Amino acid sequence: MKGKVYTRTGDAGTTSLVSGNRVSKDDVRVEAYGTVDELNSNIGVLLHSTKLDDRDIINLLRKAQNKLFNIGAYLANDAADATLYGLTQEDVAALEQMMDEMSEELPPMRGFILPGGSRLSAQADRCRTITRRAERRVVTLSHTAHVEPLVLEYLNRLSDFFFVFARFNNISNQVEEIYWDKDA
């Protein structure tokens, strides 16, 4: 990629969508794909957290990063005929399969678990909450524009994955899960 990164076209608080239409940087569409981008960056941090050496999980997270780029590109396109590329029902199924495999090794939950534990699990919890926010932003967008249902399904499952992964990592590394104490 040649050229300068800065264009100065956004200096007045607007940005260009894929269609070329300019919108405010706080437009609901920009909030949706911007939060997906924030999630992607946080997955990058998760991938470089300590003790993440499971090849299957690393591959799944890298794939998720690519899927999130596809989702971001889709959300950045306000054309009525925008096409969602590179996201399939099989991607949702892959998340479900990985969660099922990890869940087999987890004890039953006894209540709400506080985020944290190990550094890796804490970062997975951060990814989970950002995924939930991205999901909320996409739902908001869906009130005024068509959004492929698969986008919401994938984000919903991805947030579930981060929850299960955080628990799995803590249990696998003998890190105690701390349950919410409503009387604390």
- How far separated are the first and last CA of the chain, in Å rounded? 54
Q: Is residue 178 part of a domain?
A: no
- Segments of the chain with pLDDT less than 70: 1, 50-52
Q: Is residue 98 part of a domain?
A: yes
Look at the chain and report how many structural domains it folds into.
Answer: 1
Strands 14-16 and 22-24: antiparallel
Computed over every residue of the chain, the mean pLDDT equals 94
Model pLDDT, residue 50? 62
Q: Is residue 166 part of a domain?
A: yes
Model pLDDT, residue 52? 65
Amino acid (one-letter) located at 76: A
Cα dihedral value 147, 148, 153, 159, nearest 10: -50
Digit-coded pLDDT (tens) for 66-76: 999 999 999 99
Return the DSSP state at 184. Answer: -
| Cβ contact 151:74 at 8 Å | yes
Q: Is residue 132 part of a domain?
A: yes
The pTM assigned to this predicted structure is 0.93
Q: Measured between alpha carbons, how far is 68 from 64 in angstroms, rounded to an integer?
A: 6
Structure tokens at 100: 């099922």
Q: Measured between alpha carbons, how far is 22 from 100 in angstroms, rounded to an integer?
A: 43
Q: Is residue 156 part of a domain?
A: yes
| Cβ contact 162:131 at 8 Å | yes
| Cβ contact 76:90 at 8 Å | no
Q: Is residue 3 part of a domain?
A: no
CATH number at residue 115: 1.20.1200.10
Q: Is residue 8 part of a domain?
A: no
Q: Measured between alpha carbons, how far is 77 from 85 in angstroms, rounded to an integer?
A: 12
Question: Helix 119-142 to helix 149-172 angle, to the nearest 10 degrees?
Answer: 170
Q: Domain limits at 167?
A: 14-76+86-172
